[in-house]
Amino acid sequence: MDRQFRQRLILTILTVLWLALSPESHAVVQILPEVSLTVDGRAVHDHASVVSDPTVKEILAAFDRAEAAVQKEDMAPLLQFYAKGYNYHGLKPVDVRRIWGEVFTHYRELSSTHLFSEVKLFRSGSQLRAEITCTGGLYGMEEKGGTRITLDSWFREVHYLVHEDGAWRFLGNAGAAPSTAPFTSSPHHPLF
């Protein structure tokens, strides 16, 4: 393992731990300093160039809108973040509404972290798409008992997004989607 990778790993773990243990509700959507951006096969490694890219700014704004909706427990704008063709291990948009409803019922003071380490932008037919490598988690306070817990966490998961109806929307995550959700799936998966 090279030194730079170890440093990134330690920084990511410390950030996620700090956010998970923090008693305050917050949302963090951040481009990590070592980010790489690939646009139609052309790589950009300069952090300032990546964060100033207009498409990257649009994607960050989409995540920020979704995070604001989570903070307010506002279902309508949250569901606007999901693509019509959303599919996560067989879960469809109708399932997203149900699962977020359960999260909002059973947890309060929700907070989340999304740390982007790689962004790939490309065209698939007429659609602009993005693959974002993300590390993060979703945290909340249990309604019963008041214990702060990690509802979900992910490490270097690839989020698929599509530019649809004038906005970036979440399409799903990496990996083949089975026809049904696996038995071991969390009943409150955050879905993004």
Contact 97, 24 (CB under 8 A): no
Two structure tokens written together for 67? 């995070």
Distance CA 102, CA 110 (A): 13
Three-class DSSP category at 88: strand
Two structure tokens written together for 15? 């950030």
Confidence (pTM): 0.80
User: In this predicted model, what pLDDT tens digit does every residue of 27-44 receive, in sequence order?
Assistant: 789 999 999 999 988 999
Q: What is the pLDDT averaged over residues 165-189? A: 63
User: In this predicted model, what pLDDT tens digit does every residue of 121-160 receive, in sequence order?
Assistant: 999 999 999 999 999 999 999 999 999 999 988 899 999 9
Contact 137, 146 (CB under 8 A): no
Of residues 4 and 173, which shows the higher confidence score? 173
Start-to-end CA distance of the chain, whole Å, equals 29
User: In this predicted model, what pLDDT tens digit does every residue of 50-82 receive, in sequence order?
Assistant: 999 999 999 999 999 999 999 999 999 999 999
Three-class DSSP category at 60: helix
Q: What is the CATH code of the structural domain delimited by 3-173?
A: 3.10.450.50
Domain residue ranges of the chain, discontinuous segments joined by +: 3-173
> What stretches of 26-106 adopt beta strand conformation (E)?
27-39, 42-44
Q: What is the pLDDT averaged over residues 165-172? A: 95
Contact 127, 166 (CB under 8 A): no
